[in-house]
Chains A and B, each alone.
Chain A
Amino acid sequence: MQESAMMLNTTELLAIPLLPLLAAIIVGIFGWALKEKLSHCITSGSVILAALLSVHVFVQVLGGASFYGNFWTWMVSDQFIVPVGMMIDRLTAIMMIVVTIVSACVHIYTIGYMHGDPGYSRFFSYISGFTFSMLVLVMGNNFFTLFFGWEAVGLVSYLLIGFWFKRESAIFASLKAFVVNRVGDFGFLIGVLAIWYYFGSFDYRTVFDMVPAFVEKGMTLSFMGWQMTAITFICLSLFVGAMGKSGQVPLHVWLPDSMEGPTPISALIHAATMVTAGVFMVARCSPMFEYSDTALAAVTLVGAITAWMCATIGLVQNDIKRVIAYSTCSQLGYMFVACGVSAYSIGIFHLMTHAFFKSLLFLAAGSVIHAVMADQDLRRMGQLRKYMPVTYITMLIGALALSGVPPFAGFWSKDLIIEATMVRDMGWVGNFASFAVLSAVFMTAFYTFRMFFLTFHNSDRVPATTKPHVHESPRVITIPLMILAFGALAAGAWGALGLDMANPDVAAGYFGHALFVLDAHNPLMMIAEEGGGDEAWYHFIFTMPFWLAMGGIGLAYAMYFKETAMPAKLAEVAKPLHAFLLNKWYWDELFERTLMLPAQWMGNTLWQKMDLAVIDKGLIHGGIVNSIRVGAARMRQLQTGMVYHYAFAMVIGVFGLLSYLLLKA
């Protein structure tokens, strides 16, 4: 422990995850006896306290403090030790404030949103438990603690997607989310196994310190005839885990379905925090990914495909939450592209800005859904701005931030991702990624404002039965919206100018040594060298992403504000394409036909044909039991009970024996 002079307070650090855990346990076990008010006071209070403590920790970390230490031995056997500990550095600190602040906003929002739901305390117990798990995930100092948090957030996500367990669609979505996530976890687990195998430790510091020397040794392994270095194997395995958790193609299929859960958790878990765990993990492991060009290329490629593909799907969806969900997948793709081109700091920067504006968009969408009697279909909304001004304004801020319009938060981080992608030379992967992130900017702006116009402008399509109920949401809902709107407005400028997150020299900027970039890879440095970084903040006027975003907004304005008849005609003209996008590129159908049904068929066949038919009926009954039965029946026939039969057999036997003995002699 080098920086003992500037160590953070252990009690304070422990309190941050444990307060929400304690609240979750109390409300989880005694929820049935607690009044609504007490349930939300305990959980929200503890999470708000955790948020305040996190901010305090953040301020100390900015002042140069850090923490590294173990508290608990989880498993031990000779040199095999799995500790539970914390590592607090600049990366952790920013994640902590994002998690706790968004969580606190969502807790407050939930008070209004879930009011009167029979599972009220259960819901609060879950989201507090989630906050604990997510904090463990980001604060841990080794891969096992990370895995614990990783699985724990997966569990809470499962429980929350299926929160309304009477709904078939919700419980199906929760099962799907868990299983798809487990496919990712499978990869993650293998990565962890390989880390132990090659490094003999799970500890971040120990492992990362060993990486350069390990790479020198040039250890390789072959998998199905494909040679790769050990570090590539580890990074690719870990990345599979990140793909599962962060909804990257082809493991993205669970994320849009997760919208079956109540809206507050869509904002908290499936937009702001849990789904970004994969990005966090890749950034955390930057000392490993930096040494594997293959893994970096894979991260870039998968991120770019997701960013582009999910944006195309988002263009035509009719469910307000699904539009935002596909946008989340797409934005996560951006973050991975950033990591893939070694701009980890920008990836985390985008993670932070995205957390604010995306949770804002979800909560605003929740406010709308609340107003129109739990209807999520954009086709039955329109002209809502008259009824809900606060939601309207805050959602506009969120939409502008998502589209990347300066000076809103999304602009600062997204613009840098695009620049970094374009400047970094990665062969065809890099070219594709540049194309993908650029064209997705246009689509993002378009679908965001399509949704926005359809909700708040366009024609009034709200059903007459719902009409009387449309109203602005109560203050417990609008206040969190305003807090997050402030974040969506200011987080970008704060991160870039205040915290210096985009410093080309990562070690000199906000992140210090929490992230690691090889100089040869650093795209930010390349941008700076090309002179882009020296320009004043208004240089955006001259960049392509800005005009693409404007174009997207403009097209949405034309189609959904002005010429509202055009979209239907267009859909008619390009019917196959429209159907292809509306059906989400048929990924679900593909998986159903290639994985689900074959697995069920296999299971059934192995059971009916192998276990029951071949083993039980064939071998046991037909083989052993039958041969005993037949054999016994034969033997029984020998015992005829007739004396002359026996006498005859005896004579033959005596004769045989005698001749044998005589011949032998």
Chain B
Amino acid sequence: MELNNIMNFPILSLSIFLPTLGALVIWLFVRGDRAVRWASLAVSIATFLVTLPLALSFDTSTAHMQFEEFAPWIPTFNVNYQLGVDGISMPFVLLTSLLTIICIVSAWECIQSRVKEYMIAFLVLETTLIGVFCALDAILFYFFWEAMLIPMYLIIGVWGGKNRVYATLKFFLYTLAGSVLMLVAVLVMYFKAGHTFSVLAFMDYPFDFTWQFWLWIAFFVAFAVKVPMWPVHTWLPDAHTEAPTAGSVILAGILLKMGAYGFLRFSLPILPDASQYFVPFMVALSMIAIIYISLVAMMQRDMKRLIAYSSIAHMGFVTLGTFMFSTLALEGAVFGMISHGFVAGALFLCVGVMYDRLHTREIGDYGGVANVMPIFAAVMMLFCMANVALPGASAFVAEALVLLGTFNAHPAAQAAMSVSTKWVAIGAATSVILSACYTLWMYKRVILGDLVKDSVKSMQDMTVREISYFVPLILLVLWLGFYPVPVLNVIHESVTHLVAQATTTKLVAAHALAQAAPILDAVRP
């Protein structure tokens, strides 16, 4: 009975719009920076509490959409306000609401100008991000997908670093160019699939191979830019370096996940045959991300740029796992995105802590930080080791699952490849070495060593406020590292269902439909 009540209550709508409502209230009624900070913190915590029931009363035994909501939006074109989450999207809703709290706390002191606008931007961003993960209508999805650009554009463009204008333009144009093709693809599907924008209907409609091919490419461009995948990745290091700390956290933690989520929500289930066709292509790009990008990461002189490149490499694991079609690899991919949200987010926060003190991100400007900031050094060590995917950290679970799933790929993925996926897994496993190289080399140069620079000598260890936002991240990374089972259970059914969708050809049904088309036309009045 109680459960039913929860299921009927529009939790998703509330989670989506509560932050914006809060932002509206703050804009209209709250005066003074201090009050704005506390009010936004309250709104973000309230949103987190609203999203919490999603996890607590989530039914892990089904792959069906849960907490569904439906309302007509633009009836003329059959556009609906359709929401729902499954085991793949639900974790991201919680990830978003949790990271937003951390972002707001982390911006407490380092943002001193236009505090109110900053907080409003973050809350609106939260709305659009949660919206993306909940939307089951393609137009609604597109709406949130594009709307998200605006607050992010402002966050980097107004509160960013020296080259922020260049970085924002690059970020904006890249993602916009990508998503335009997605809009075209959505419209094509609307006309093909019988005038509906429902993602679930798209999943059931048998597109023939030619259409799948072109639609897949259109979606690929949109998602690849967001992930980002080589060679459309160069906007990310720029955006990361120029963004304020919290912007980087959200960018790495959530925004990158949207691209990979798109592959999971659109490409795989809607276009299974094209997805299989493109397996070798995706594997090649993923391997480039893992090896090439890791080498590039190693040589970076700017800490944020290094972590940005490391994010691309880790997302390579996600895309690799996605296109192996095995349950393990897909679970690893989804888990990897969650884990990476915490680990990369925490590393950006670490850089932020140092940046707040010395106002530089250059590795060469530091050295011997451990002498003056022992607590910080320990915290950063923990997250560096998590980035290296040491067992006990969440990233290890993800990496192990992806590698196992790749070594033992689904026959559908294996059939598309000319080499055994075993060798792919072995190639990807070089990340074990490379990630250690770039992460720990940075750690050595920044944190370890003797105190030489006067500027470093003046650094103070973390404040209680700073520690307060690292504690939940530490606990989460360790919890997911040692006891990932609850999260894996949430993901499991949906992923199993997705594997079935991605490996079942639509061509037979498409062929039957094409055969039947003249007859249907004949009987049509």
Q: Which of A's residues lie within 8 Å of B, judged by CB?
A: 32, 73-78, 80, 144, 147-148, 151-152, 155, 158-159, 162, 165-168, 171-172, 174-175, 178-179, 182-183, 185-186, 189-190, 193-194, 196-197, 221, 223, 599-600, 602-604, 606-607, 610-612, 615-616, 619-620
Given known A165-B449, A196-B404, contact A80–B482 (CB-CB < 8 A): no
Tell me if B327 counts as interface (CB < 8 A to partner A). Answer: yes
Question: Does A196 lie within 8 Å of B295, measured CB to CB?
Answer: no
Q: Give a binary string over B429-450; 1 marks a CB under 8 Å from any A CB, 0 the rest.
A: 1101100110011001001111
Give residues of chain B (456-495) contacting chain A, Cβ–Cβ below 8 Å: 482-485, 488-489, 492
Task: Tell me, in angstroms, the Cα distance from A147 to B391 when the chains sit together.
Answer: 8
Tell me if B392 counts as interface (CB < 8 A to partner A). Answer: yes
Tell me if B298 counts as interface (CB < 8 A to partner A). Answer: yes
The majority secondary structure among interface residues of chain B is: helix
Interchain CB contact (< 8 A) of A152 among B297, B327, B391, B401 = B391
Tell me if B516 counts as interface (CB < 8 A to partner A). Answer: no
29 A-B residue pairs with CB within 8 Å: A32-B374, A73-B485, A75-B400, A77-B328, A77-B331, A77-B492, A144-B400, A155-B385, A166-B368, A166-B371, A166-B449, A171-B449, A174-B444, A175-B444, A179-B436, A179-B440, A186-B429, A193-B403, A194-B407, A197-B408, A221-B420, A221-B422, A223-B423, A599-B437, A600-B299, A606-B292, A611-B233, A612-B234, A615-B234
Task: Tell me, in angstroms, the Cα distance from A447 to B447 when the chains sit together.
Answer: 39
Tell me if B390 counts as interface (CB < 8 A to partner A). Answer: yes
Residue numbers in B under 8 Å from A73 (CB-CB): 485
Task: Tell me, in angstroms, the Cα distance from A527 to B292 when the chains sit together.
Answer: 54
Tell me if B426 counts as interface (CB < 8 A to partner A). Answer: yes
Question: Does B433 lie within 8 Å of A186, measured CB to CB?
Answer: yes
Q: How many Å from the CB of A146 to the closest CB on chain B?
A: 10
Q: How many Å from the CB of B26 to the closest CB on chain A?
A: 38
Tell me if B351 counts as interface (CB < 8 A to partner A). Answer: no
Residue numbers in A under 8 Å from B331 (CB-CB): 77
Interchain CB contact (< 8 A) of B295 among A174, A182, A606 = A606
Tell me if B32 counts as interface (CB < 8 A to partner A). Answer: no
Residue numbers in B under 8 Å from A600 (CB-CB): 298-299
Question: Does B432 lie within 8 Å of A182, measured CB to CB?
Answer: yes
Tell me if B324 counts as interface (CB < 8 A to partner A). Answer: no
Interchain CB contact (< 8 A) of B391 among A151, A158, A611 = A151
Task: Tell me, in angstroms, the Cα distance from A75 to B426 when the chains sit together.
Answer: 21
Question: Does B485 lie within 8 Å of A178, measured CB to CB?
Answer: no
Task: Tell me, in angstroms, the Cα distance from A179 to B447 when the chains sit together.
Answer: 18
Interchain CB contact (< 8 A) of A168 among B296, B381, B450 = B450
Tell me if B258 counts as interface (CB < 8 A to partner A). Answer: no
Q: How many Å from the CB of B196 to the closest CB on chain A?
A: 33
Question: Does B397 lie within 8 Å of A75, measured CB to CB?
Answer: yes
Question: Does A607 lie within 8 Å of B484, measured CB to CB?
Answer: no
Tell me if B289 counts as interface (CB < 8 A to partner A). Answer: no
Residue of A nearest to B174 (CB): A620
Task: Tell me, in angstroms, the Cα distance from A182 to B492 when the chains sit together.
Answer: 31
Task: Tell me, in angstroms, the Cα distance from A340 to B385 when the chains sit together.
Answer: 34
Question: Does B328 lie within 8 Å of A616, measured CB to CB?
Answer: no
Tell me if B231 counts as interface (CB < 8 A to partner A). Answer: yes
Question: Does B370 lie within 8 Å of A165, measured CB to CB?
Answer: yes
Q: How many Å from the CB of A117 to the closest CB on chain B?
A: 14
Q: Which 4 pairs, one residue from A and one from B, show the smallest C-beta to C-beta distance?
A: A603-B295, A603-B299, A166-B450, A607-B296
Tell me if B283 counts as interface (CB < 8 A to partner A). Answer: no
Interchain CB contact (< 8 A) of B482 among A74, A182, A603, A607 = A74
Residue numbers in B under 8 Å from A76 (CB-CB): 485, 488-489
Given known A221-B422, A604-B299, contact A178–B407 (CB-CB < 8 A): no
Since A165-B370, A610-B292 are in contact, a sample of 11 more A-B pairs with Cβ atoms closer than 8 Å, ordered by chain A residue number, is A73-B485, A147-B391, A165-B449, A168-B449, A174-B444, A186-B433, A600-B298, A603-B295, A603-B296, A603-B297, A612-B234
Which of B381, B441, B448, B483 is the most central at the interface, judged by chain A CB atoms within 10 Å of its CB?
B448
Residue of B nearest to A162 (CB): B448
Question: Does B299 lie within 8 Å of A607, measured CB to CB?
Answer: yes
Task: Tell me, in angstroms, the Cα distance from A221 to B421 when the chains sit together.
Answer: 13
Q: Give a binary string over B226-263; 1 marks a CB under 8 Å from any A CB, 0 the rest.
A: 00000101100000000000000000000000000000
Residue of A nearest to B491 (CB): A77
Tell me if B425 counts as interface (CB < 8 A to partner A). Answer: yes
Interface residues on B, range: 35 or more
Residue numbers in B under 8 Å from A183 (CB-CB): 433
Question: Does B429 lie within 8 Å of A190, measured CB to CB?
Answer: yes
Residue numbers in A under 8 Å from B397 (CB-CB): 75
Given known A162-B448, A190-B426, contact A80–B404 (CB-CB < 8 A): yes
Residue numbers in B under 8 Å from A166 (CB-CB): 368, 371, 449-451
Question: Does A171 lie within 8 Å of B444, measured CB to CB?
Answer: yes
Q: How many Å from the CB of B475 to the closest CB on chain A?
A: 13
Residue of A nearest to B309 (CB): A607
Interchain CB contact (< 8 A) of A78 among B327, B403, B485 = B327
Task: Tell me, in angstroms, the Cα distance from A283 to B299 when the chains sit together.
Answer: 40
Given known A148-B392, A186-B430, A615-B231, contact A197–B441 (CB-CB < 8 A): no
Residue numbers in B under 8 Å from A182 (CB-CB): 432-433, 436
Residue numbers in A under 8 Å from B297 (CB-CB): 603
Residue of B nearest to A599 (CB): B295
Task: Tell me, in angstroms, the Cα distance from A620 to B174 when the chains sit together.
Answer: 10
Q: How many Å from the CB of A25 to the closest CB on chain B?
A: 11
Q: How many Å from the CB of A592 to the closest CB on chain B?
A: 14
Q: How many Å from the CB of B230 to the closest CB on chain A?
A: 9
Q: How many Å from the CB of B329 to the closest CB on chain A?
A: 11
Question: Does A193 lie within 8 Å of B298, measured CB to CB?
Answer: no
Residue numbers in A under 8 Å from B390 (CB-CB): 151-152, 155
Residue of A nearest to B237 (CB): A611
Residue numbers in A under 8 Å from B233 (CB-CB): 611
Task: Tell me, in angstroms, the Cα distance from A120 to B58 when the chains sit together.
Answer: 48
Given known A152-B391, A186-B429, A186-B430, contact A179–B403 (CB-CB < 8 A): no
Q: How many Å from the CB of B385 to the closest CB on chain A?
A: 6
Question: Does B448 lie within 8 Å of A165, measured CB to CB?
Answer: yes
Task: Tell me, in angstroms, the Cα distance from A492 to B292 when the chains sit together.
Answer: 52
Task: Tell me, in angstroms, the Cα distance from A431 to B209 when the chains sit together.
Answer: 63
Q: Give a binary string over B294-331; 1 marks a CB under 8 Å from any A CB, 0 the rest.
A: 01111110000000000000000000000000011001
Residue of B nearest to A189 (CB): B429
Give residues of chain B (119-159) contacting chain A, Cβ–Cβ below 8 Å: none
Q: How many Å from the CB of A190 to the closest CB on chain B?
A: 6
Task: Tell me, in angstroms, the Cα distance from A223 to B385 when the chains sit together.
Answer: 32
Q: Give a binary string over B262-305; 1 marks a CB under 8 Å from any A CB, 0 the rest.
A: 00000000000000000000000000000010011111100000
Which of A73, A77, A615 is the most central at the interface, judged by chain B CB atoms within 10 Å of its CB?
A77
